[in-house]
Amino acid sequence: MGYLSYFFSTPLGHISLIANEEALLQVHFEKKKTTGKNWIIAEAEKQLQEYFAGKIKKIQIPIQLQVTDFQLLVLESVQKVQFGSTITYQKLANILHKPNAVRAVGQALAANPVPIIIPCHRVVGKNSLGGFKGGISRKKILLALEKIDR
């Protein structure tokens, strides 16, 4: 099964989407070589543009995650954080019944292959924004888009 990549401009800069015929596999915050567009990429682009325009609050596209079991637990939990809300790394670790795993939670979020689709930007530090795969400036834009004041 072949993979396709496609990039387009957003308020966050260029975003590259990588997909196969079944699901979205990765989102990157950079310009990558475009090799084509299938229905998954077209739908992901459409929904991302609608999200940035404030027309939708949740992106619903098939995804395939190639992550560890722990990373999967973290990413599944993050998907439950609603638009316009945040959760701290510590609270997320507590939800997973691993209160001492705050750094591991952060590392799992840093490995998120589909940021924005899985809204890891909604996870913040107790007294800071924390990190974000796309950089803090992009995290601030996403939080502002969702009207989250941090």
* Vertex 66: Cα angle to 64 and 70 (nearest 5): 115
> How many angstroms separate the CA atoms of 72 and 144, rounded?
27
Non-local CB neighbours of 34 within 8 Å, separated by 6+ positions: 5, 6, 7
* Vertex 38: Cα angle to 63 and 49 (nearest 5): 70
Whole-prediction pTM: 0.92
- Report whether 122 contacts 86 (CB < 8 A): yes
pLDDT in tens, 28-74: 998 778 888 999 999 999 999 999 999 999 999 999 999 999 999 99
- Catalytic annotation on 3? no
Q: DSSP letter at 82?
A: P
Count of beta carbons in the 10 Å neighbourhood of residue 29: 17
Pick the catalytic residue: 120, 123, 124, 143? 120
Over 90: is that where the pLDDT of 84 sits? yes
